[in-house]
Amino acid sequence: MDFHCLSSALLALAVLFSASSVPYQLHAKTVCDFPAIFNFGDSNSDTGGLSAAFGQAPPPNGESYFRGPAGRYSDGRLVIDFMGGVFKELLPSAEDFSRALYTFDIGQNDLTAGYFLNMSTDQVRAYVPDVLDQFKVVVSDIYDQGGRSFWIHNTAPVGCLPYVMDRLLITAGQVDKVGCASPFNDVARYFNRKLKEAVVQLRKDLPMAAITYVDVYAAKYALISQAKKHGFEHPLRACCGHGGKYNYNMHVGCGGKIKVNGKEVLLGKSCEKPSVMINWDGVHYTQAANKWVFDQIVDGSFSDPPTPLKMACRRQ
């Protein structure tokens, strides 16, 4: 789901919350008591919306935790699932919407969509301000309906994703020391700088909001660039896929089948050890990588301000 579609969904949801919004005090020194977490983002953080809209993610998605497909484009849990583990009671009552934590994980689809439409790097950069203007409108609308706590992830290093490197022409001079495509990571960093500027403006515009900006790009690039140190292998290859340098084929994805002599044959198979792989299907991360990223960001080490997740209701 790209952010343009996401905006409409968020606006509708914000209206739904309005009847139940109540003031939420953000000055308490105790751990935040979030009664619910509402996540908005692309399929890196989607726990079932994409499958509900376009059909269930096929096996072997979910194999490492759910033992079968569970709406997540990964072998198991996503970063948002590990956040849910911190706050156990996640089924909200009507009065809980204003006390909830609102998480955002955006950018990857917005950037890659332009490239796959044959836009130049300059053209992709040019539409970033418009995307972020829409983002500010969405956050402001949720705030107007009572939302106060926002946990905002920046976008990951898209130039390290197998589906980007496989589909886009990359010359030797465009590859960094890790093997990632520098031009695409440059645009991701530009997006993140502009996102941070948007967050700074939102803090001024929404004085009662607690807004935490989380540098997921830095966490994920640290994992990819130091994979062996952290117990991972083949950081630029997909675990579940078929063929090629990156084990990615846009025509035969994870769980993809072809017909041979009238019979379906599975080509998009899972690797032997997803637990040591970073990338799951060329686009999304494995459960092991998601858990590693969560462990890095949960204590506020990658946040501005440096706020632990459990204190994300506090303004600083």
The predicted model scores a pTM of: 0.85
Catalytic residue, from 46, 75, 166, 281: name it: 281
pLDDT of residue 137: 97
Q: What letter represents residue 35's amino acid?
A: P
pLDDT of residue 2: 47
Tokens matching residue 136:
């500010």
Catalytic residue, from 64, 96, 284, 303: name it: 284
Say whether 264 sits in a helix, a strand or coil: strand
Quote helix, strand, coil % in the chain, to nearest 5. 45, 15, 45
Closest CA to 75 of 282, 293, 297: 282
Catalytic residue, from 21, 42, 43, 74: name it: 43
Active site residue 281: yes
pLDDT of residue 44: 87
Closest CA to 43 of 9, 68, 78, 8: 78
pLDDT of residue 45: 87
Question: For 157, phi and psi rounded to 5 degrees?
Answer: -70, 90
Whether cis (ω within 30° of 0) applies to the bond prior to 60 is yes
Residue 172 φ/ψ region, left for φ over 0, alpha for ψ in the -120 to 50 degree band, beta for the rest? alpha
Averaged over successive runs of 10 residues, the pLDDT of the chain (316 residues) comes to 41 36 45 89 85 88 92 91 69 81 94 90 94 97 96 97 84 86 95 98 97 98 98 97 91 89 88 97 97 97 95 90
Domains of the chain: 3-230+286-311 (3.40.50)
What gap in Å lies between CA 9 and CA 276, rounded to an integer? 36
What gap in Å lies between CA 147 and CA 150, rounded to an integer? 8
pLDDT of residue 5: 41
Active site residue 284: yes
